[in-house]
């Protein structure tokens, strides 16, 4: 479990210094550790996310992305470690996890108590383009519709932190692109801090302000994406992607992570 | 490939019985007819088995005299009382033991021990404890129907998709709303299986329990009929027991259809 120190130094050298945050961060973890038995999945991780910042998290399978996200969602015990998060958090999982016995709008309204809940749920569903499926049963939704419902359910709470765990992974390429636009629009509208876990380097670059690479329980690399949105896959985009793939490729032995990424231009990896 | 099964059969067999091949009602009706004929021609003596027509007449007579409805109500009330007790006990215990490890450790072994004792075998003990009034009858039904409801509810609660519970918890649902909005609805299909089984058991136990010196009820009617060798009344009561079972099943089906409307059905309705 002990990692070679020299390697980590090498990563530290690659990582650009984080910009000094003028306001209190929405999310802050310092030296965070999480282990299952002897398996130390997160090992002294430092993370800070500014309010309203869109952060994407890349990493090989099993690198602990979901573990980190669950911690931030408050789903796992953290012991006496300091974990700063906003009070209102909402998660969208890879599977929509809608309650099959509640109509779509009631799923969105789940746990909301104040009056006018139906109107709020309705507004949120209209925002994701599902105003016409309010009274449908979740089992009758398509995969994309279910994920949009899950998004509406997350956003109706106006969360300070929106956690997305590979929410588009099960969707087809076209739907995924539409979902990207939708998420960006919603983020612009509501401005939560976002942590998006993804396997797709292009997705990370297209959406995020900052892309993190998780490796051996720590943030091994970081890329700030200063490109204007919407982002076309131009030369600067490609440069960022090459660097990120490099970060992933160095540690992933078979570089299978890179193989998962679609290359529109057909160029070779590395 | 283009031939359906039906086509192929019709090609292979030139002669068809278009309607009768599907007439499931035919054999029961034939049996009834044989039975009726047998009674008319004295093959089946009246004291062995009354003719269907006699049974129908008796059914009608007992119904308008009010004797059958009155006794049926008494029996129904017993079954309902027993089932109500069972529901309260089983749902409480099932939830406690389903929702907590400690509850399971405390309750489940007792329920499993209870399960190994055939409920009807408790009859003598209950007569000693409760006498021969209403109490032992209701207690027997309650005891016998508790286990199926408990067991299925327990399994339903434990079988809930934890990912759904987790998602709901991430939206800040309190423990109580988690139980109400996620765990109970999720366990409902399983609960209905238990309820249906319990209703069946309740009719079965009712039959035995009403042999205990009943002053009213279907069992009382049967006992009297036995003493006077009135096979027609006995058959009427058997029919009513069967109808009770059917009715109970239809009742739960209706409940299920309403409560589980969200379920995509495997078989088109
Ligand atoms: N509840 C648990 N008990 C034991 N080990 C666990 C548990 N949850 C996760 N792990 C382990 O922690 C490691 C990280 O898991 P995690 O789910 O966070 O990976 P991930 O980065 O999200 O992977 P993927 O990209 O495949 O989703 C894995 O080795 C996994 O086996
Ligand atoms: Mg994961």
Compute the residue count for chain A.
Answer: 270
Q: Which of A43, A57, A65 to mutate to test the pocket of ligand 1 (most atoms within 8 A of CB)?
A: A65
CA A160/CA A166 separation, integer angstroms: 19
For residues A140 and A145, what is the distance between their CA atoms, to the nearest angstrom?
Answer: 9
Domain chopping of chain B, boundaries: 72-258
The confidence score (pLDDT) of residue B64 equals 95
Mutation site, B156, B167, B176, interface A, largest A CB count within 10 A: B167
Read off the pLDDT of each residue in B129-150 and give the average, rounded to a whole number.
94
**Residue in the block written with tokens 């405390």:** B106
pLDDT of residue A249: 79
Nearest CA in chain B to A101: B262
Nearest to A167 by CA among A187, A147, A195, A138: A147
Single out the residue of B127, B82, B138, B89 nearest to residue B111, CA to CA. Answer: B89
Average model confidence (pLDDT) across chain B: 89
Partner residue facing B164 (CB), from A75, A99, A111: A99
Between A153 and B13, whose confidence is greater? A153
Q: Print burial letters for A100-133: b (CB count within 10 Å at least 16), e (below 16).
A: bbbbbbbbbbbbbeeeebeebbbebbebbebeeb
Q: What is the pLDDT of residue A22?
A: 64
Closest-CA distance, A80 to chain B, in angstroms, reads: 20
Per residue in A208-229, pLDDT tens? Answer: 999 999 999 999 999 999 998 8
Choose the weakest-confidence range: A11-25, A142-156, A185-199, B226-240: A11-25
Domain boundaries B72-258, corresponding CATH code: 1.10.3720.10
Say if CB B249 and CB B196 are below 8 A apart. Answer: yes
The residue of chain A with its CA nearest to that of B178 is A111
pLDDT at A257 over 70: no
pLDDT value at position A2? 41
Ligand closest to Cα of A58 equals: 1
Q: Where are the domains of chain A?
A: 27-231, 232-270
Kind of pairing between the strands at A210-215 and A193-197: unpaired
Whether the Cβ atoms of residue B94 and residue B107 lie closer than 8 Å to each other:
no
CA atoms within 13 A on the CB side of B43: 6
Flag whether residue A121 sits within 8 Å of chain B, measured between CB atoms. Answer: no
Distance CA A108, CA A111 (A): 9
Ligand nearest to the CA of A35: 1
ipTM score for this prediction = 0.78
Q: Please give the Cα distance from A260 to B41 (Å, whole number).
A: 85
User: How many whole angstroms from A91 Cα to the centroid of ligand 2?
Assistant: 13
For A102-116, A253-267, B32-46, which range has the lowest pLDDT when averaged over its residues?
A253-267
Residue minimizing CA distance to atom 19 of ligand 1: A62
Look at residue B106 and give its three-state secondary structure: helix
Task: Give the phi and the psi of residue A209 in degrees, each rounded to 5.
Answer: -80, -30
Q: In the 3-class helix/strand/coil scheme, how is chain A assigned residue by residue? A: CCCCHHHHHHHHHHCCCCCCCCCCCCEEEEEEEEEECCEEEEEEEEEEECCCCEEEEEECCCCCHHHHHHHHHCCCCCCCCCEECCCCEEEECCCCCCCCCCCHHHHHCCCCCCCCHHHHHHHHHHHCCCHHHCCCCHHHCCHHHHHHHHHHHHHCCCCCEEEEECCCCCCCHHHHHHHHHHHHHHHHHHCCEEEEECCCHHHHHHHCCEEEEEECCEEEEEEECCCCCCCCCCHHHHHHHHHHHHHHHHHCCCCHHHHCCCCCCCCCCC
Cβ proximity of A160 and A87 under 8 Å:
yes
Question: Whole-angstrom Cα distance, residue A185 to residue A229?
Answer: 11
At B18, the pLDDT band (50, 70, 90 cuts) reads low
Distance CA B215, CA A163 (A): 68
**Cβ contacts of B173 on chain A, cutoff 8 Å:** 110-111
Partner residues linked to A57 by β-bridges: A197, A212
What three-state secondary structure class fits B129?
helix
Position A208 scores a pLDDT of 95
Give me the residue label for tokens 């017993």.
Answer: B78
Instruction: Say if the Cβ atoms of A100 and B182 lie within 8 Å.
Output: no
Distance to chain B for A97, nearest Cα, Å: 6
Q: What is the pTM of this model?
A: 0.79
Tens digits of residue pLDDT in B176-221: 999 999 999 999 999 999 999 999 999 999 988 988 877 899 999 9
Residue of minimum CA distance from atom 25 in ligand 1: A61
Six token digits for residue B153 = 């509810």
Task: Determine if residue A116 is left, alpha or beta; phi over 0 gives left, psi from -120 to 50 gives alpha, anything else beta.
Answer: left
Atom 24, ligand 1: which residue's CA is nearest? A61
Residue minimizing CA distance to atom 9 of ligand 1: A67
**pLDDT on residue A1:** 39
Testing ligand 1's pocket by substitution, the residue of A1, A45, A63, A217 carrying the most ligand atoms inside 8 A of its CB is: A63
Measure Cα distances from B256 to A103, A104, B2, B242 in Å: 17, 21, 39, 21
CB contact under 8 A, A89 and B170: yes
Q: Look up the CATH number of domain A27-231.
A: 3.40.50.300
Task: Give the Cα separation of B33 and B40 in Å (integer).
Answer: 10
d(CA A142, CA B97): 37
End-to-end CA distance of chain B: 28
Q: Which of residues 190-219 of A touch B (CB under 8 A)?
A: none
pLDDT, residue A114, reads: 81
Query: What single-letter DSSP state applies at residue B23?
Result: -
For chain B, which residues lie within 8 Å of any Cβ of chain A, measuring from their own Cβ? Answer: 163-164, 166-173, 177, 181-182, 185-186, 188, 260-264
List the residue whose alpha carbon is closest to atom 5 of ligand 1: A36
The predicted structure's pLDDT at residue B16: 63
pLDDT band at A19 (very low <50, low <70, confident <90, very high): low
Q: Identify the closest residue of chain B to A102 by CA–CA distance.
A: B262
Average pLDDT over residues A109-119: 90
A117-130 tens-digit pLDDT:
999 999 999 999 99
Beta bridge partners of A211: A56, A223
């Amino acid at each position: 479990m002990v990692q070679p120190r020299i390697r980590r130094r090498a990563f530290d050298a690659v990582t650009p210094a984080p910009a000094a945050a003028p306001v209190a961060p929405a999310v802050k973890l310092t030296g965070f550790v999480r282990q299952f038995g002897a398996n130390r999945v997160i090992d002294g991780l430092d993370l800070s996310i500014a309010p309203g910042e869109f952060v994407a998290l890349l990493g090989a399978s099993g690198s602990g992305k979901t573990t980190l996200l669950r911690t931030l969602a408050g789903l796992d015990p953290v012991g006496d470690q300091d974990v700063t998060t906003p009070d209102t958090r909402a998660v969208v999982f890879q599977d929509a996890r809608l309650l099959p016995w509640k109509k779509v709008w009631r799923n969105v309204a789940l746990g909301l108590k104040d009056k006018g809940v139906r109107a709020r749920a309705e507004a949120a569903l209209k925002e994701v383009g599902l105003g016409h499926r309010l009274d449908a049963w979740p089992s009758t939704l398509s995969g994309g519709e279910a994920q949009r419902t899950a998004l509406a359910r997350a956003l109706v709470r106006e969360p300070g932190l929106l956690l997305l765990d590979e929410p588009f992974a099960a969707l087809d390429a076209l739907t995924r692109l539409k979902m990207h636009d939708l998420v960006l629009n919603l983020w612009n509208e509501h401005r939560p801090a976002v942590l998006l876990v993804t396997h797709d380097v292009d997705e990370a670059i297209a959406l995020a302000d900052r892309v993190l690479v998780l490796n051996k329980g720590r943030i091994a690399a970081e890329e700030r994406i200063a490109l204007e949105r919407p982002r076309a896959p131009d030369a600067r985009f490609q440069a960022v992607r090459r660097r990120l793939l490099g970060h992933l490729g160095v540690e992933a032995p078979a570089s299978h992570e890179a193989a998962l990424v679609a290359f529109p231009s057909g160029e070779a990896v590395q | 490939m283009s031939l359906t099964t039906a086509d192929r059969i019709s090609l292979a067999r030139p002669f068809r019985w278009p309607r009768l091949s599907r007439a499931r009602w035919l054999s029961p009706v034939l049996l009834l007819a044989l039975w009726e004929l047998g009674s008319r021609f004295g093959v089946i003596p009246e004291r062995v088995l009354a003719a269907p027509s006699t049974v129908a007449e008796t059914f009608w007579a007992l119904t308008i005299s009010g004797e059958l409805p009155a006794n049926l109500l008494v029996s129904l009330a017993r079954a309902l009382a027993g089932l109500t007790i069972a529901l309260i006990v089983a749902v409480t215990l099932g939830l406690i033991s389903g929702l907590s490890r400690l509850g399971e450790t405390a309750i489940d072994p007792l329920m499993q021990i209870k399960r190994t004792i055939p409920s009807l075998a408790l009859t003598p003990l209950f007569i000693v404890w409760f006498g021969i009034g209403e109490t032992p009858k209701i207690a027997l039904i309650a005891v016998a129907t508790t286990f199926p409801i408990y067991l299925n509810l327990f399994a339903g609660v434990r079988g809930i998709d934890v990912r759904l519970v987790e998602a709901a918890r991430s939206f800040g649902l309190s423990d109580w709303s988690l139980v109400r909005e996620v765990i109970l609805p999720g366990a409902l299909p399983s609960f209905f299986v238990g309820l249906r089984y319990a209703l069946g058991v309740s009719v079965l136990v009712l039959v035995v329990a009403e042999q205990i010196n009943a002053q009213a009820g279907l069992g009382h009617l049967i006992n009297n009929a036995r003493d006077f060798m009135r096979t027609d009344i006995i058959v009427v009561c058997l029919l009513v027991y069967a109808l009770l079972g059917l009715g109970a099943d239809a009742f739960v089906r209706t409940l299920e259809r309403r409560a589980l409307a969200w379920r995509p059905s495997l078989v088109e309705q």
